[in-house]
Amino acid sequence: MGRVRQSALLALLVIAFVGLFELVGLTSGVLIGALAGALFFTLLLKQRLPLPEPLYVLGQAVLGASIGASIDLDTLRALSSDWSWVLLVSIATIVVSVALGLLLCLRGEISRETAIFASVAGGAAGLTAMSRDLGADDRVVTVLQYLRIVVIVASLPLIVEFAFHPSGPGGIARASAGEIVPALAFTTVSIVVGVVLGRLVRLPAAAVFGPLIIAAAVHPLFGAVGVPALVEQTGYLLIGLAIGLRFTREAFATISRLLPLAVLNVVVVVAVCAAMGAALAHITGESALDGYLATTPGGFSAVLAIASTTGGNLTFVTATQLVRLLLILALAPVFGAWLRRHR
């Protein structure tokens, strides 16, 4: 089959899967749909059509810029005197998930880097984008990270409804969408400057961290704009394609053997985070529901959506989730380098 026909077939598969997942409201439906279409193309149809590396770098850079645009210092300052407890809970969550992740590599089928980055609770998109640069198998990391997201997002509404009985709808004021021109300018500056500087100073996972740092620094200069939704979704699409098109039957078999332990890993992490959320709520005086949502290990968008519709303290939930996300993204390259030195 020629490359044009292969590309057309791949495009049809990706459109079908993305459309299906978006229709059912699956979190990160574009990324998972692109991954599923690429897996179908590679494993079932036995086709080979690797994505050019510059496109993968572009996808990583778009994601980095999106994360950078979400960093809001005012939200973090809102934690006030509670920040030390939030930091402690965030560190404890990471430590527990790393410890559980090490169980995945006891059979010797995957490396420590892969096991740990596949299990860290939070920052799934960022870890997926940078895991290969940090020495992990991004195919395994992607599947297991998004397995956790699917479990959390599917169970979250039921747990909130039957365990916490929210009193009623809340709501937040939605900021108006920024103009497309400044949004595109912000995205272009973040990506171009970020990738170039990231490589010049040899940042770990430079395609993600360079744009992330530049986006966080220049975001106030562009007003209330971020990466346009279409551009952001394109980034997810490219990451899903790049990972899916590099899958092999051997990698898929490895993941299949790991699934029972991975599911147990997710259940334990969710239970531990729920317990820490209850403790955090008691210490800070927030509601039990806010404590649970603030420490939920993944599904950031779904968590904020539920917090905004149940009358919860959205600032507290957002800030706590953001602290853990920033810790994970900051520590991942350091931890990856340490693991490589002690391999």
pLDDT in tens, 94-116: 999 888 888 888 777 888 888 88
Contact 100, 269 (CB under 8 A): yes
Predicted confidence band at 72 (pLDDT cuts at 50, 70, 90)?
A: confident
| DSSP code of residue 45 | S
| pLDDT mean over 185-199 | 94
| Structure confidence by residue, pLDDT tens digits, 117-160 | 888 887 777 788 888 888 888 888 888 887 887 788 767 767 88
| pLDDT mean over 67-89 | 81
Amino acid at 269: V
Gap between the Cα atoms of 280 and 82, Å rounded: 9
pLDDT of 207: 86
**Which of 28-32, 47-51, 158-162, 176-180 is the least confident region?**
176-180
Gap between the Cα atoms of 277 and 155, Å rounded: 16
What lies within 8 Å, CB to CB, of 136 at 6+ separation is: 111, 113, 114, 116, 117, 118, 336
pTM greater than the 0.85 cutoff: no
Predicted confidence band at 179 (pLDDT cuts at 50, 70, 90)?
A: confident
pLDDT of 196: 94
Contact 240, 34 (CB under 8 A): yes
- Asked if residue 270 has pLDDT above 60, the reply is yes
Instruction: Indicate the helix (H) or strand (E) that contains 216.
Output: helix 206-218
pLDDT of 337: 78
Amino acid at 176: S
Secondary structure of residue 121 in the 3-state scheme:
coil
Gap between the Cα atoms of 332 and 79, Å rounded: 24
Backbone torsion region of residue 108, taken as left when φ is above 0, otherwise alpha when ψ lies between -120 and 50, otherwise beta = left
| pLDDT mean over 312-328 | 83
Percent of the chain surpassing pLDDT 70: 90
- Asked if residue 259 has pLDDT above 50, the reply is yes
| Residue located via tokens 């391999």 | 343
What lies within 8 Å, CB to CB, of 71 at 6+ separation is: 216, 219, 322, 326
Best-predicted range by mean pLDDT among 156-160, 203-207, 325-329?
325-329
Average pLDDT, the chain: 83
pLDDT of 27: 59
